[in-house]
Structure 1
Amino acid sequence: MLTCQKPLFSLPEAIHYLNGASMSPLLKSVEEAGIQGLLRKSQPHTIHQEDYFTDVDRVRQLFGQLVHVPYERVAIIPSVSYGMAIVAKNLNARPGQHILLVADEFPSDVYAWEEVCQTQAISLKTINRTGDGKSWNEAVLNAISEETALLMIAPIHWSDGTRFDIEALSKRCRETGTRFVLDGTQAVGALPLDLTEVSVDALIVGGYKWLLGTYGMGLAYFGPAFDEGRSIEQSWINRKGSDNFRLLMAYTTEFRPGASRYSMGEQSNFIQIPMLATALEQILAWTPEAVQAYSEALVRPHVPHWQELGFWIEAEAYRSSHLFGLRHEGLDMNRLRTELERHQVYISTRGTTLRIATHVYNEAADLEALTEALSASL
């Protein structure tokens, strides 16, 4: 079992930060990697041709280890919306088919399909929450058919941590010929995900939450369905032979192997790439399994008290411990805000849900402060 890792972060002692689902703090080691990268940019004569590729490939390898895929299938992206745009650009649906989503999905996972729905004469179909997590899972599974061109879902819902059975969903998508895409932004890094056990066509992950990286840098896995696909950008660095700067004028229509064609331009960010590599190295040293177990140990003792106070929380089998939601019909949000500020507790509100996010920088005192604030607000 991991012990509290707060000394590795720069969080002030007095605050109770339970909002990593919004934006994670940086590890001190990641801060230092960024500082060194900034100083390196001040000395451009120290940056060599191979440096445009070495650290990028290191990040791809580390992410490949994290989700158990070959690094050649990993692309560097700036955002989730960028990754979803790649999926949309390479979706070939039949007129009358639909894209399947769950209700209250993150906006980037909804807006991505507007244009493709218009151009290919397909529609969006949304599965509303029906009771508890078990019934919601069943509703999604039953909605997948041969008319489902694409299922886009997250392993856990971004607003309240409801878990979806991605193994069952993947199996059903294979049966119906449905393209299966995951938004792993609120899961990968804190929740185990092995893509050798779950077949997905694409996995899109923002890097500034559970990957402990920077804003504006993310990662994506693209499976065989995307091997000959169309990229968003026509970047020089993604083309075959781009590692030989002397021959860059020998233009080519061929791409570098694997998912490189989908990586963003200026992917060789000499500040952010080393930061992301350092963060991924630490996550792999901890392991997502240990991060989840640590969060579970923090959260479990408080669940009965929250329930006694009248808060709804998803059943244990259908919630994560690093991100979960609390709801209360009688909660005065203004009073809650006052109590959270008084106790120096940081969480998010998404719709009618209080979204709580725990990580290895949290300790028992953080959950105790949250419980005190919740109790006082009632």
Structure 2
Amino acid sequence: MSPQLKSVEAIGINNLKRKSNPFSISVDDFFSEKKVLKNRFTQLIEAPDPEYIAIIPSVSYGIANAVANIPFLKGDEIIVLEEQFPSNYYAWKQLEKEKGVVVKTITAPPISKDRASRWNTDILNTISKKTKCVAIPQVHWADGTLFNLREIKEKVAQADGYLIIDGTQSVGAMPFSVNEIQPDALICGGYKWLLGPYSIGVAYYGERFHNGTPIENNWMNHIGSENFTNLVNYNHLLKPKATRYDVGESSNFILTPMLSEAIKQLLEWKPANIQEYCKSINQKAINTLLENGYFIEDAANRGHHLFGIYLPKNRDIETLKSKIKSQNISVSYRGNAIRVSPSVYNSKEELEKLVSCFI
């Protein structure tokens, strides 16, 4: 997870204290900060309308709403990737038991210069008339491999299927345009590249979900909830578009303004600039690793904010782990990849210090 911006931390502390004087929290406060968060996320992902955005507690929650509102039939196929994040896998796999669908996992090709291209081609070639859903990330969480979502969307649309994207590993650090890609859903945990706190996220749900049934009925996702006096008179009509998928207590007076503040900063920095900065501090370090026999996906086919290092056969991973730890460097180990996730808080010198552990 990302470190927290000082401004985000300050807002969290200030809002934590508000609960000590609950009479200072007004009726309007239950809705005002939610609107700010949705407006900012709408700008970040170039979505058409803040009402296409839902506030969620986790990726698994966002995926569950999508799963519950896609009309699956026995024999329908769902496409996922090898070793993608579990929260975008388990729910789809459960459908095999419940609905008799088939989950097709597209494995990563062997290490080679055209690995990413071959992986994308394999996805496209697997999409057929039976494909009901493609559920993948923008970049793979283990090694940053980039997937051509626009081409994948065009192909799956021909089968009248759905494109469900877990954007947690990229949105905020890498440009993403709903207007360009046209996904049916984009689901993001807030704790990573959105630079927000844990246990809150945001999701975009396209028009095919706007008349759906949420996985929970809470008082706030029903029409008329702004009128507290009238809450005793139940209104069973759900709010329009994606607002119906808001988690209960989405007003969260601590986490919601924190995530909103984090996205405000990202809008100022711009994800494209973050990518360029990461590229500038990575380039020399990555070239050195490549020259010494390590494999890293080609720059055009991965994120600059997240990349995986694959070891030559003659390198011992445990020895390398000890060396990296002794230098007080934090990386992740995902499958066979050593995952490096730099951002604006890193420097070129830090990347070169990491590389010194490998050489």
TM-score, structure 2 normalization: 0.96
The answer as to 2:66 corresponding to 1:66 is: no
**Where does residue 47 of structure 1 map in the other structure?**
25
**Where does residue 239 of structure 1 map in the other structure?**
222
Q: Unpaired segments of 5 or more residues in structure 1?
A: 1-22
**Where does residue 218 of structure 1 map in the other structure?**
201
SS at match of 1:279: helix
1:37 and 1:330 map into 2 onto residues whose CA distance is 53
Alpha carbons 2:46, 2:179 under 8 Å: kept: yes
Amino acid at match of 1:108: S
- Which stretches of structure 1, 4 residues or more, deviate above 6 A after TM superposition? none
**Where does residue 191 of structure 1 map in the other structure?**
174
2:244 and 2:83 map into 1 onto residues whose CA distance is 32
**Where does residue 333 of structure 2 map in the other structure?**
349
Amino acid at match of 2:268: A
Amino acid at match of 2:66: V
Deviation at 1:331, TM superposition (A): 2.5
**Where does residue 256 of structure 1 map in the other structure?**
239
Deviation at 1:95, TM superposition (A): 1.6
2:239 and 2:347 map into 1 onto residues whose CA distance is 45
**Where does residue 313 of structure 1 map in the other structure?**
296
1:304 and 1:120 map into 2 onto residues whose CA distance is 48
How big is the alpha-carbon RMSD for the aligned residues of Structure 1 and Structure 2?
1.0
**Where does residue 362 of structure 1 map in the other structure?**
346
**Where does residue 177 of structure 1 map in the other structure?**
160
Alpha carbons 1:89, 1:116 under 8 Å: kept: no
Deviation at 1:161, TM superposition (A): 0.3
Aligned residues: 353
Residue by residue over 1:316-372, the C-alpha shift from the partner in whole angstroms, topping out at 9 and shown as x without a partner, is 221110001001133322211221122111000001100000100111121011011
1:41 and 1:333 map into 2 onto residues whose CA distance is 48
Alpha carbons 2:197, 2:258 under 8 Å: kept: yes
**Where does residue 141 of structure 1 map in the other structure?**
124
**Where does residue 11 of structure 1 map in the other structure?**
none
Alpha carbons 2:209, 2:241 under 8 Å: kept: no
**Where does residue 32 of structure 1 map in the other structure?**
10
Residue by residue over 1:21-75, the C-alpha shift from the partner in whole angstroms, topping out at 9 and shown as x without a partner, is xx00000000001011111111111100010000011101100000011110100
TM-score, structure 1 normalization: 0.92
SS at match of 2:287: helix
Residue by residue over 1:160-184, the C-alpha shift from the partner in whole angstroms, topping out at 9 and shown as x without a partner, is 0000001100111111111111000
Q: Unpaired segments of 5 or more residues in structure 2?
A: none
After TM superposition, the structure 1 = structure 2 runs for residues 79-118 of structure 1, keeping only pairs within 5 Å, are 79-118=58-97
- Structure 1 pair 179–371 and aligned structure 2 pair: CA distance change class (3 A): same
Amino acid at match of 1:370: L
Amino acid at match of 2:246: S
2:175 and 2:160 map into 1 onto residues whose CA distance is 26
Alpha carbons 2:210, 2:240 under 8 Å: kept: no
1:205 and 1:164 map into 2 onto residues whose CA distance is 17
Deviation at 1:228, TM superposition (A): 1.0
Amino acid at match of 2:248: G
SS at match of 1:54: helix
Residue by residue over 1:91-116, the C-alpha shift from the partner in whole angstroms, topping out at 9 and shown as x without a partner, is 21232111111111111111012332
After TM superposition, the structure 1 = structure 2 runs for residues 275-290 of structure 1, keeping only pairs within 5 Å, are 275-290=258-273
